[in-house]
C-alpha cells in the first residue's frame, strides 16, 4: 500500500503549483484553471485521509463531492465572468482590471 | 398586577405602538392617491391620539406599579421578552407624542412637494419608534425602538430638509448613534452581570434589573454609558451642537417632533434607567450633572440671545429649557423630579408650537432671518397674538404651563443647593430677554414691506393645529394637578428608591469634592 | 361676601376674554361698553367689601389646590382683610375712572378694542394680586400685571421707542422678580409653606440671617415693581404707553404692588431690623434721587413719572422705619392724586394734539379750565399744601421717620418734599401759564370731552378731602385705626399728637409752600433764572438732565457684555470648540482612510498574495506558540 506521505506530497505539489499559477499568471482563464488545480489537490488529500482513517471511512469522499459541485459552479461562473470581462475590454490580463482601486 | 387583560381587555400598548407603522405600510400600497394616503395618515394618528386618551382614562393614577402589562417571550435563549408596560410618566409622554404626531399632519398638509407619501410614512414609523420607547419594559426591546426612531428622523432631515440637510442629518445621526452604541455596550454588560449564575440566561427585563445590585465600578461605567446616550438626546451641554443644525435644516414637522418628543426621550431614559438601576452612581455624579445643567441653562440662553435665525433661536432656547429638566431630575427630590417632568411636557407643547409658528411665518415670508422681519403685528394680528401667547408661556409666565415646571424644578434644585438654585434662576431672566427681544424684532416696530399686507393671516387649518397646544398650555398652567397627579406616584417611587442612598446635608460644593473622592 | 370676592376679579376677566375675542370683528368702537360696565360693578363690589370689612368681617377662603408636587403645595385662595379692602378700593376707583376716561382718550384708535381688553386683563390681575392668600399667588399675578404693563406700554408697537420701553419694563421687572422668586423658594425651604398665615405663624423658628435674606430678596422684587433705585429705569420709559395706562398702571396701582408686598409681609420684615433699614435707605435715596431728575425734565409725563418714583420712595421710607400705616396712607392718597395728575396731563396732551414737550406749551389755563383747576388741586395735594390729601399723608410719613429716631430720613424726605413742590409747579407754570410758545398748536387747543373731564373732577374730590377724612388727628387718624388689625403685631406705641408734631407739620407745610413760591419766581416772575441756574449748576444740571447716565451705564456694563458673551460663546465655544471637535474627529478618520487607501490597489493578485502571506504568518505564529 502506498504510504500516506506520498499522496500528501502529490497534493502539496499540486496545491503549490496551483497557487503559483493563481498568484503569478496574468491570464484570467489560466488563473481559473489554477484554482481548479488547487481544489483537486485538496480532493486528493481528502480522499487519502479518508482512506487511511480508521473511523472516518467515506467522510472524505462526501466532502469531495461538495468540492466537485463547488468547482463546477466556480468554473461556470468564473468562465462567464471571464467572457464578460473580455467583452468589456477585449483583453484578459488581470492587471487591466483594477476598477476597485481605492 | 396590572395585566392588560384585566385592565382594558386588549393589548392597548401594542396597538398604540404599531398602529402608525401598519398605517404606514398600508399607505405604501396607495401610490399616486395623495388625498387618500394623507387621509389614512390623519386617521391613523387621530385614532392613536384617541387611544392615548383611552389609555389615560383607564390608567390607575393612584399606584406606582407598571400597568397594562403585556409580556410574551421573544428570544427566550437570551432572556429577551416582548414586555410592554407603562407608568404615569410614560402615559403623559405617550399622550404628548400622539398629540404632536396628529398635529403635524395637517400642519404639513401642503408643505411637502416631493416624495410626499414617503414623508408621511416616515413620520408614522417615527411615531411607532417613539411610543415604543415609552412602552418598552425590556432593555433590548427599548434599544430596538430607540434605533427605530433614529432612522426615520435621519431621512426626514436628509431628504426634506434645507440646503445643508446632508451635513445636518449626518451630524444628527453620528451624535445620537455614538451615544446609542455606548448604551448598547452597557445594556449587554449589565444584562450579563445581572445573571444569578454564569449559566443563567442574561437579564434584559427592567423589572428584574431594578432589583439587582451592581458593584460601584459597574454602576459608574454603565451609568456613564447610558447617561451619555440620553444626554445627547436631551441635549445637554456640551453634546448639543447637533440640535441647532438639525432644527434649522429639518422641515417644520421634523422640528416639531424633534423638539417636542425626541428630546424628551433623553430625559425619560434618565428617569427610567439611570436613576433606578444605578443609584450609587447617581448620588456620586448628580452634582456634576447639575453643574452641566446650569451651564446648559445659562449657555443656551446666552447663545439664543444673539441668534439671527428664528429656528436657531428656538433651538438654543430648547437647550436652555431642557437644562431645567436635568436640573430638576438630578436634584433627586420629589418636587424637582415632578418639575423636570412638567418642564418636559410643557416644553413639548410650547416649543412644538413655536416651531409651527416659525414654519407658518416661513411659508409666508420665505425667510427665517429675524433681521428681515419687523412690524408683522400689522398684517398678521392673529399670528402676533398667538406667537405672543406661546412666547410668554415659554418664558415662564405664571398661569401657563412653562411656569409650573420651571418653578417646581427650581424649587427642587433650591432644596438641593441654594447657590445652584440661585444661578439657575438667572436663566429665567435671560429667557425673558431672548424671547421678548425676538418677539419685539419680529412683530413690533415698523413694517418692513407694505406688500406683506396682501399675505393671509393664520388660516383655520393653522389655528386648529395650534389650538390643542394652547389649550393644554393653559390647562397645565391653571390646573397642573391633572398632570402632577398622573406622575406623582411614579416620581415618588424614584425618590423612594433613592432615599437610602442619599447622603445627609453638605453644600453642593462639598458634594462635588466628595464625589471627586468617589471617582477615584 | 364670597360671591363678591369672586366677582370682583372674574368680571374683568370675562370682559377681557369676550372683548379680546370678539372686539375686532363685532364690538369695534363699542368695545368699551362691556369693559367699563364690568369694572363699574367691580368698583361697587369693592365699596361693598370695604363696608363689610369695616364692620369687622374677614375672609379666608381656599378655593382649590393649584400645585401639589410632593411637599410643595400651593392653593388658590382668597384673603380679605383691611389691607386688601383698601387696596381694592384704590385699584377699582382709579381703574373705573381710567376706563371712563379712556373712552374719550382712545377714541378713533385702531386698537380700541385691544386697549380695553388689556385694561380688563390688568384689572383682573391686579385684583387677584391683592386678593391672594399666599406668596406664590402674589408672585403669579405680580408677573401678570407686569405682562399687562408690557402689553400696554408697547401698545403703539410700530414705534420703536414704545416697543423698546415695553421690553425694557418686562426685563427690569424680571430682574426684580429673580430676587422675589428666590425669596419665595427660601421661604418654602425654611418654613415649608407659602400661605401668608402659615408663614407668619412660624416665624419664630427662623434664624435672623435667613430672615434678613428672605426680606432682602422679597424687597428686590418690590424694587423692580415699584421702580426703586437701581431698578427704577423702566418706569420713565414706560411713559411711551397711552396716558390712561400711565395713570392707572404706572402711577396709581401696579407700581404700588411693591409697597403692598412689603406691607403684607410686615411680620417678616419686622423681625429683621437690618432689612427694614435697607428698605428705608433705598426708599429715601430714591425719593431724593428721582426728585432731582424730575426738576429738570421737559416732557410733561416724564416729570410725573419721576415724581411717582420719588413718592414711592417715600412709601418705602415709611415702611422701612416702621410707620406701616403712614406708608399705606400715602399709597392711598398718592394713588388718587397721581392718577388725577396723569389723567390731567393726558388731557393737556390731548388738547395739544399729542405734544408732550412742556417747552412748546404755555397759556393753556383759559382754554382748558377744568383740566387746569383739577390739575392744580392735584399739584397742591402732592406738594403738601395744608388741608389736602398729600399734606396729611406725607406728614405722617415724615413724622413717623422722625419719631422712630431716623431724623436723617426725615431730613431727606423734607428736601424731597421741597423739590416735589418745585417741579410740580414748574410743570403748572410752564404748561398753563405764561404765553403760548407754539402758536399753531395753541390755536387748536381745546378742552377735552366730557368722558375725560368727569373722571378728573371725580378724582379731584378724594385728592382734596381724603386727608381730612382719613388723616385726622395726625398719626392716629381713621386710616391708622382701620389698618390696625393688619399691623397689630408690628406697630409700636401709639403716638400722641403734641407740640413737636405741630411744629413738624408746620415746617413741612412751609417747605411745600416755599417750593411753590420758588417755582413761581423761576417760571413766572423771572423766566431768565432757570437758564442761569442751569449754567451755574453745570455738571449737576447735565447729570440730572441725563438721568445720571444710568441707562448708559447698564448698557455698558450689563447688556452689551452679555450680548458679546453670547456671541463669543456661540462663535468660539459652539462653532469653534465643540463643533470643531466633532468635525475634527470626522476629519481624523477621513485622513486615516486616505492614508490607507493606496493599499487597496484593485489588483486581485496583490490581494491574494497578501492573503497568502497572512496565512503563512498565522501558521508560523501558531507553530511558535504551540511548540
Give the three cell numbers for residue B496: 423612594
**Cα C65 vs. chain centroid, distance in angstroms?**
29
Q: Test C163 with B444 for CB contact under 8 angstroms.
A: yes
Is A99 inside any structural domain? no
Chain B's closest residue to C176, CA to CA, is B429
The parent domain of residue A86 ranges over: 4-92
The phi and psi torsions of C111 (rounded to 5 degrees) equal -105, 35
The answer to whether B331 and C62 have CB atoms below 8 angstroms apart is no
Alpha-carbon distances of C523 from C307, C380, C429, C434, rounded to whole Å: 19, 17, 6, 9
| Shared domain check, C559 and C529 | no
In this structure, the number of other CB atoms found within 10 A of the CB of residue C150 comes to 25
Axis-axis angle for helices B334-365, B401-416 (nearest 10): 140
Is C588 inside any structural domain? yes
Could you tell me which residues are beta bridge partners of residue B369? B309
Is A55 inside any structural domain? yes
Is C325 inside any structural domain? yes
The answer to whether C221 and C180 have CB atoms below 8 angstroms apart is yes
C430-489 residues touching A, CB cutoff 8 A: none
Give the three cell numbers for residue B14: 401594542
Give the three cell numbers for residue B493: 417611587
* pLDDT < 50 regions, chain C: none
| Shared domain check, C602 and C475 | no
A19 touches chain C (CB under 8 A): yes
Is C89 inside any structural domain? no
Is C609 inside any structural domain? yes
| Shared domain check, C564 and C533 | no
Q: Test A98 with C602 for CB contact under 8 angstroms.
A: yes
The answer to whether B51 and B169 have CB atoms below 8 angstroms apart is no
Residues of A in contact with C599 (CB under 8 A): 102
Chain C's closest residue to B406, CA to CA, is C181
Q: Test C566 with B305 for CB contact under 8 angstroms.
A: yes
- Indicate the residue among C537, C569, C602 that finishes a domain: C537
Each residue of B445-467: pLDDT tens digit? 888 778 888 888 888 888 888 99
The answer to whether C424 and C381 have CB atoms below 8 angstroms apart is no
Is C204 inside any structural domain? no
Give the three cell numbers for residue B297: 441653562
Is C528 inside any structural domain? yes
CA-CA distance, B221 to B274, in Å (whole number)? 11
- CATH code at A37? 1.10.287.3510
Alpha-carbon distances of B320 from B296, B297, B406, C325, rounded to whole Å: 5, 4, 11, 44
Min Cα–Cα distance to chain C from B318, Å: 15
Domains in chain B: boundaries: 4-519
Give the three cell numbers for residue C74: 400651593
CA angle C383, C385, C390 (to 5 degrees): 60
Spatial CB neighbours of C457, under 8 Å, sequence gap ≥ 6: C370, C374
Report the domain count for chain A.
1
**Structure confidence at residue C493 (pLDDT):** 66
C579 touches chain B (CB under 8 A): yes
Min Cα–Cα distance to chain C from A76, Å: 19
Is A101 inside any structural domain? no
Residues of A in contact with C598 (CB under 8 A): 102
Is A98 inside any structural domain? no
Residues making up chain A, counted from first to last: 102
Is C129 inside any structural domain? no
Q: Is the pLDDT score of A17 beyond 90? A: yes
Rounded to the nearest integer, the mean pLDDT of chain B is: 87
The answer to whether B244 and B312 have CB atoms below 8 angstroms apart is yes
The parent domain of residue C587 ranges over: 552-626
Q: Is the pLDDT score of B506 beyond 60? A: no
Report the domain count for chain C.
2
**Structure confidence at residue C107 (pLDDT):** 83
Q: Is the pLDDT score of B351 beyond 70? A: yes
**Structure confidence at residue C492 (pLDDT):** 66
The answer to whether C353 and C429 have CB atoms below 8 angstroms apart is no
Give the three cell numbers for residue C561: 457684555
A1 touches chain C (CB under 8 A): no
Secondary structure class of B74 (helix, strand, coil): strand
The answer to whether C206 and C168 have CB atoms below 8 angstroms apart is no
Q: Test C189 with B492 for CB contact under 8 angstroms.
A: no
Give me the residue from C600, C602, C608 closest to A23, CB to CB. C608
- Indicate the residue among C537, C571, C606 that finishes a domain: C537
Report residue B509's pLDDT band, with 50, 70 and 90 as the boundaries: low
Chains A and B touch (3+ CB pairs under 8 A): no
Spatial CB neighbours of B179, under 8 Å, sequence gap ≥ 6: B228, B229, B230, B231, B232, B233, B239
- ipTM for the complex? 0.87
Q: Test C599 with A22 for CB contact under 8 angstroms.
A: no
Residue C357 DSSP label: B
Q: Give me the mean pLDDT over the B50-61 stretch.
A: 89
**Structure confidence at residue B49 (pLDDT):** 93
Could you tell me which residues are beta bridge partners of residue C77? C62
Report residue B269's pLDDT band, with 50, 70 and 90 as the boundaries: very high
Residue B68 DSSP label: E
Give the three cell numbers for residue C375: 390739575
Q: Which site among C603, C606, C608, C616 would you substitute to test the A interface, given the most A Cβ atoms closer than 10 Å to its Cβ? A: C603
Please give the torsion angle defined by the CA atoms of residues B405, B408, B411 and B412, in that order, rounded to the nearest 10 degrees: -100
Q: Is the pLDDT score of A9 beyond 90? A: yes
**Kind and range of the H or E element at B463?**
helix B460-478
The lowest-confidence range among B58-72, B106-120, C405-419 is: B106-120
Alpha-carbon distances of C519 from C348, C513, C523, rounded to whole Å: 20, 10, 6
Min Cα–Cα distance to chain A from C584, Å: 23
Q: Is the pLDDT score of B271 beyond 60? A: yes
In this structure, the number of other CB atoms found within 10 A of the CB of residue C155 comes to 20
Q: Test A99 with C602 for CB contact under 8 angstroms.
A: yes
State chain A's maximal CA–CA distance in angstroms: 54
Is C613 inside any structural domain? yes
How much of chain C is in helix, strand and coil states, percent to nearest 5? 80, 5, 15
A97 touches chain C (CB under 8 A): yes
Q: Is the pLDDT score of B517 beyond 60? A: no
Residue B306 DSSP label: T
Could you tell me which residues are beta bridge partners of residue C62? C77
Residues of C in contact with B443 (CB under 8 A): 157
Each residue of B284-325: pLDDT tens digit? 888 889 999 999 999 999 999 888 888 999 999 999 999 999
Give me the residue from A19, A23, A98 closest to C601, CB to CB. A98
Say what the pTM is. Answer: 0.86
**Structure confidence at residue A56 (pLDDT):** 66
- State the SS3 of C113-180: HHHHHHHHHHHHHHHHHHHECEHHHHHHHHHHHHHHHHHHHCCCCCCHHHHHHHHHHHHHHHHHHHHH
**Structure confidence at residue C474 (pLDDT):** 65
Is A70 inside any structural domain? yes
Spatial CB neighbours of C307, under 8 Å, sequence gap ≥ 6: C290, C291, C294, C338, C341, C382, C420, C423, C424
Which chains touch A (3+ CB pairs under 8 A)?
C
| Shared domain check, C569 and C518 | no
Is A102 inside any structural domain? no
Residues of C in contact with B398 (CB under 8 A): 139-141, 143-144
Q: Is the pLDDT score of B518 beyond 60? A: no
| Shared domain check, C583 and C467 | no
Secondary structure class of B369 (helix, strand, coil): strand
Give the three cell numbers for residue A22: 493563481
Each residue of B359-412: pLDDT tens digit? 888 888 888 888 888 888 888 888 888 999 999 999 888 888 889 999 999 999
Q: Which site among C605, C606, C609, C611 would you substitute to test the A interface, given the most A Cβ atoms closer than 10 Å to its Cβ? A: C605
Amino acid at each position: 500500500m502506498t504510504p500516506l506521505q506520498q499522496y500528501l506530497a502529490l497534493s502539496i505539489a499540486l496545491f503549490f503549483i496551483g497557487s503559483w499559477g493563481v498568484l503569478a499568471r496574468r491570464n484570467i482563464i489560466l488563473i481559473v484553471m489554477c484554482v481548479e488545480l488547487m481544489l483537486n489537490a485538496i480532493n486528493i488529500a481528502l480522499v487519502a485521509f479518508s482512506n487511511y482513517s480508521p473511523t472516518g471511512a467515506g467522510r472524505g469522499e462526501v466532502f469531495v463531492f461538495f468540492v466537485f459541485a463547488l468547482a463546477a459552479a466556480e468554473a461556470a461562473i468564473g468562465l462567464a465572468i471571464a467572457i464578460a470581462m473580455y467583452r468589456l475590454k477585449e483583453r484578459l490580463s488581470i492587471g487591466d482590471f483594477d476598477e476597485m482601486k481605492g | 398586577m396590572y395585566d392588560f387583560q384585566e385592565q382594558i381587555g386588549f393589548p392597548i400598548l401594542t396597538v398604540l405602538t404599531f398602529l402608525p407603522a401598519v398605517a404606514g405600510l398600508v399607505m405604501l400600497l396607495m401610490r399616486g392617491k395623495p388625498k387618500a394616503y394623507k387621509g389614512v395618515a390623519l386617521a391613523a394618528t387621530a385614532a392613536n391620539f384617541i387611544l392615548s386618551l383611552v389609555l389615560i382614562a383607564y390608567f390607575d393614577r393612584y399606584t406606582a406599579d407598571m400597568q397594562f402589562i403585556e409580556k410574551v417571550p421573544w428570544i427566550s435563549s437570551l432572556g429577551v421578552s416582548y414586555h410592554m408596560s407603562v407608568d404615569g410618566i410614560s402615559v403623559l409622554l405617550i399622550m404628548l407624542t400622539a398629540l404632536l404626531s396628529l398635529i403635524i399632519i395637517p400642519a404639513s398638509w401642503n408643505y411637502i412637494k416631493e416624495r410626499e407619501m414617503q414623508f408621511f410614512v416616515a413620520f408614522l414609523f417615527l411615531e411607532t419608534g417613539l411610543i415604543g420607547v415609552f412602552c418598552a419594559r425590556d432593555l433590548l426591546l427599548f434599544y430596538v425602538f430607540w434605533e427605530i426612531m433614529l432612522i426615520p428622523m435621519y431621512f426626514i432631515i436628509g431628504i426634506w430638509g434645507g440646503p445643508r440637510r446632508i451635513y445636518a442629518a449626518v451630524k444628527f445621526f453620528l451624535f445620537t448613534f455614538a451615544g446609542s452604541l455606548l448604551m448598547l455596550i452597557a445594556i449587554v454588560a449589565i444584562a450579563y452581570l445581572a445573571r444569578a449564575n454564569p449559566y443563567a440566561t442574561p437579564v434584559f427585563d427592567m423589572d428584574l434589573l431594578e432589583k439587582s445590585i451592581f458593584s460601584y465600578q459597574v454602576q459608574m461605567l454603565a451609568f456613564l454609558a447610558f447617561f451619555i446616550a440620553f444626554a445627547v438626546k436631551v441635549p445637554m451641554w456640551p453634546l448639543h451642537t447637533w440640535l441647532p443644525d438639525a432644527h434649522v435644516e429639518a422641515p417644520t414637522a421634523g422640528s416639531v417632533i424633534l423638539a417636542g418628543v425626541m428630546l424628551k426621550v433623553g430625559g425619560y431614559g434618565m428617569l427610567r434607567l439611570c436613576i433606578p438601576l444605578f443609584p450609587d452612581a447617581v448620588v456620586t455624579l448628580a452634582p456634576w450633572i447639575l453643574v452641566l445643567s446650569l451651564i446648559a441653562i445659562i449657555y443656551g440662553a446666552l447663545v439664543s440671545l444673539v441668534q439671527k435665525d428664528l429656528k436657531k433661536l428656538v433651538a438654543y432656547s430648547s437647550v436652555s429649557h431642557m437644562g431645567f429638566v436635568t436640573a430638576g431630575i438630578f436634584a433627586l427630590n420629589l418636587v424637582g423630579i415632578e418639575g423636570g417632568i412638567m418642564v418636559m411636557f410643557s416644553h413639548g407643547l410650547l416649543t412644538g408650537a413655536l416651531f409651527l409658528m416659525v414654519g407658518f411665518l416661513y411659508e409666508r415670508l420665505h425667510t427665517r432671518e429675524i433681521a428681515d422681519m419687523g412690524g408683522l403685528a400689522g398684517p398678521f394680528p392673529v399670528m402676533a397674538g398667538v406667537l405672543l401667547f406661546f412666547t410668554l408661556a415659554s418664558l415662564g409666565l405664571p398661569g401657563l404651563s412653562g411656569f409650573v415646571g420651571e418653578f417646581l424644578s427650581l424649587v427642587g434644585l433650591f432644596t438641593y443647593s441654594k447657590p445652584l438654585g440661585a444661578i439657575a434662576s438667572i436663566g429665567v431672566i435671560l429667557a425673558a430677554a431672548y424671547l421678548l427681544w425676538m418677539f419685539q424684532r419680529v412683530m413690533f416696530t415698523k413694517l418692513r414691506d407694505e406688500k406683506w399686507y396682501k399675505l393671509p393671516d393664520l388660516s383655520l387649518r393653522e389655528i386648529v393645529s395650534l389650538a390643542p397646544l394652547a389649550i393644554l398650555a393653559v390647562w397645565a398652567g391653571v390646573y397642573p394637578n391633572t398632570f402632577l397627579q398622573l406622575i406623582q406616584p411614579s416620581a415618588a417611587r424614584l425618590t423612594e428608591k433613592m432615599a437610602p442612598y442619599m447622603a445627609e446635608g453638605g453644600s453642593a460644593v462639598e458634594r462635588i469634592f466628595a464625589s471627586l473622592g468617589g471617582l477615584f | 361676601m364670597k360671591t363678591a370676592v369672586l366677582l370682583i376679579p372674574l368680571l374683568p376677566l370675562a370682559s377681557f376674554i369676550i372683548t379680546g375675542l370678539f372686539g375686532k370683528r363685532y364690538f369695534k368702537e363699542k368695545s368699551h361698553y362691556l369693559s367699563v360696565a364690568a369694572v363699574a360693578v367691580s368698583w361697587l363690589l369693592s365699596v361693598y367689601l370695604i363696608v363689610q370689612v369695616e364692620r369687622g368681617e374677614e375672609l379666608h377662603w381656599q378655593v382649590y389646590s393649584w400645585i401639589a408636587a410632593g411637599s410643595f403645595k400651593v392653593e388658590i385662595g382668597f384673603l380679605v382683610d383691611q389691607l386688601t379692602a383698601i387696596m381694592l378700593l384704590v385699584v377699582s376707583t382709579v381703574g373705573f375712572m381710567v376706563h371712563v376716561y379712556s373712552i374719550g382718550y382712545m377714541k378713533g384708535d385702531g386698537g380700541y378694542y385691544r386697549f380695553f381688553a388689556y385694561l380688563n386683563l390688568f384689572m383682573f390681575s391686579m385684583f387677584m394680586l391683592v386678593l391672594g392668600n399666599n406668596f406664590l399667588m402674589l408672585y403669579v399675578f405680580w408677573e401678570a400685571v407686569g405682562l399687562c404693563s408690557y402689553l400696554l406700554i408697547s401698545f403703539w408697537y410700530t414705534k420703536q421707542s414704545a416697543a423698546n420701553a415695553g421690553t425694557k419694563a418686562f426685563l427690569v421687572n424680571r430682574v426684580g422678580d429673580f430676587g422675589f422668586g428666590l425669596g419665595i423658594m427660601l421661604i418654602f425651604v425654611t418654613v415649608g409653606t407659602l400661605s401668608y398665615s402659615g408663614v407668619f405663624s412660624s416665624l419664630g423658628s427662623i434664624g435672623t440671617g435667613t430672615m434678613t435674606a428672605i426680606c432682602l430678596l422679597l424687597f428686590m422684587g418690590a424694587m423692580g415693581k415699584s421702580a426703586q433705585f437701581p431698578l427704577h429705569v423702566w418706569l420713565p420709559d414706560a411713559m411711551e404707553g397711552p396716558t390712561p395706562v400711565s395713570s392707572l398702571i404706572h402711577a396709581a396701582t401696579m407700581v404700588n404692588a411693591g409697597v403692598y408686598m412689603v406691607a403684607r409681609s410686615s411680620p417678616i420684615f419686622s423681625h429683621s431690623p437690618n432689612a427694614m433699614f435697607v428698605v428705608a435707605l433705598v426708599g429715601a435715596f430714591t425719593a431724593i434721587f428721582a426728585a432731582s431728575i424730575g426738576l429738570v425734565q421737559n416732557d410733561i409725563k416724564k416729570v410725573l413719572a419721576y415724581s411717582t418714583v420719588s413718592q414711592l420712595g417715600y412709601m418705602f421710607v415709611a415702611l422701612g422705619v416702621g410707620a406701616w400705616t403712614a406708608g399705606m396712607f400715602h399709597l392711598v392718597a398718592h394713588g388718587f392724586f397721581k392718577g388725577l395728575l396723569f389723567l390731567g396731563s393726558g388731557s393737556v396732551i390731548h388738547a395739544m394734539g399729542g405734544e408732550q414737550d412742556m417747552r412748546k406749551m404755555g397759556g393753556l389755563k383759559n382754554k382748558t379750565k377744568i383740566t387746569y383747576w383739577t390739575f392744580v388741586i392735584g399739584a397742591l395735594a402732592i406738594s403738601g399744601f395744608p388741608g389736602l390729601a398729600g399734606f396729611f399723608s406725607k406728614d405722617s410719613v415724615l413724622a413717623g421717620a422722625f419719631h422712630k429716631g431716623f431724623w436723617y430720613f426725615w431730613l431727606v424726605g423734607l428736601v424731597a418734599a421741597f423739590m416735589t413742590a418745585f417741579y410740580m409747579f414748574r410743570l403748572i407754570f410752564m404748561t398753563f401759564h405764561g404765553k403760548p410758545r407754539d402758536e399753531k398748536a395753541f390755536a387748536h387747543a381745546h378742552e377735552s370731552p366730557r368722558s375725560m373731564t368727569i373722571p378728573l373732577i371725580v378724582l379731584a374730590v378724594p385728592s382734596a378731602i381724603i386727608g381730612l377724612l382719613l388723616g385726622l388727628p395726625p398719626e392716629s387718624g381713621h386710616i391708622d385705626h382701620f389698618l390696625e388689625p393688619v399691623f397689630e403685631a408690628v406697630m409700636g406705641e401709639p403716638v400722641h399728637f403734641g407740640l413737636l408734631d405741630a411744629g413738624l407739620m408746620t415746617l413741612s407745610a412751609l417747605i411745600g409752600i416755599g417750593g411753590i413760591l420758588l417755582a413761581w419766581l423761576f417760571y413766572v416772575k423771572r423766566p431768565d433764572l432757570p437758564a442761569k441756574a442751569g449754567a451755574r449748576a453745570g455738571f449737576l444740571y447735565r447729570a440730572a438732565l441725563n438721568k445720571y447716565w444710568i441707562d448708559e451705564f447698564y448698557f455698558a456694563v450689563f447688556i452689551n457684555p452679555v450680548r458679546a458673551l453670547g456671541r463669543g460663546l456661540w462663535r468660539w465655544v459652539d462653532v469653534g470648540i465643540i463643533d470643531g471637535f466633532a468635525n475634527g474627529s470626522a476629519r481624523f478618520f477621513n485622513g486615516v482612510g486616505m492614508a490607507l487607501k493606496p493599499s487597496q490597489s484593485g489588483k486581485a493578485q496583490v490581494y491574494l498574495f497578501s492573503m497568502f502571506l497572512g496565512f503563512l504568518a498565522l501558521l508560523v505564529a501558531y507553530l511558535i506558540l504551540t511548540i
